[in-house]
Amino acid sequence: MFFFTLHTLCSHNGNFPCEAVPQYHEIVARGWESKSVEEQQSQANLASAPPRPQLNAEQRAQESRREGLMLARCQVLAQLKAVSNPRRREMLERALADLQTQLAHLG
């Protein structure tokens, strides 16, 4: 690791006064401080959120399946926006219809 200050790096450079350059540990401290504030805010948001109901194994599996289907649907929709090949478009439209059918069966 390098333990130095910006002061020692710029001491021979005549472009600006070395006293105006912050030391390395001051820059790092500022970054860690903002991380701490961010973490505190996220913990406060989690504490104020209503608790999620406990799900049994079957409900968790169904929820996981639904989330997977929704992600796949989003990917297909994004690909449909960019596709120019008619055969590829047809295949994606069939895949989208199949995903929507599977989502409808899940409830």
Of 5-9, 11-15, 31-35, 100-104, where does the model show the most confidence?
100-104
DSSP codes joined into one string, 47-85: HHSPPPPP--HHHHHHHHHHHHHHHHHHHHHHHHHH---
Residues 6+ apart with CB under 8 A from 77: 96
Identify whether the C-beta of residue 22 lies closer than 8 Å to the C-beta of residue 6: yes
- The answer, yes or no, to whether residue 12 has pLDDT greater than 90, is no
Q: pLDDT tens digit string along 43-95?
A: 777 666 667 778 788 888 999 999 999 999 999 999 999 999 999 999 999 99
- The answer, yes or no, to whether residue 39 has pLDDT greater than 70, is yes
| Longest CA span, the chain | 72
- The answer, yes or no, to whether residue 96 has pLDDT greater than 90, is yes
Instruction: Report the mean per-residue pLDDT for the chain.
Output: 76
Q: What is the 3-state secondary structure (H, E, C) of 22-50?
A: CCHHHHHHHHHHHHHHHHHHHHHHHHHCC
Question: pLDDT at position 28, please?
Answer: 52
Tell me which residue of 30, 12, 11 sits closest to 21, measured CA to CA: 11
At 14, list the tokens.
């005549």
Domain boundaries, given as residue ranges, for the chain: 6-47, 57-106
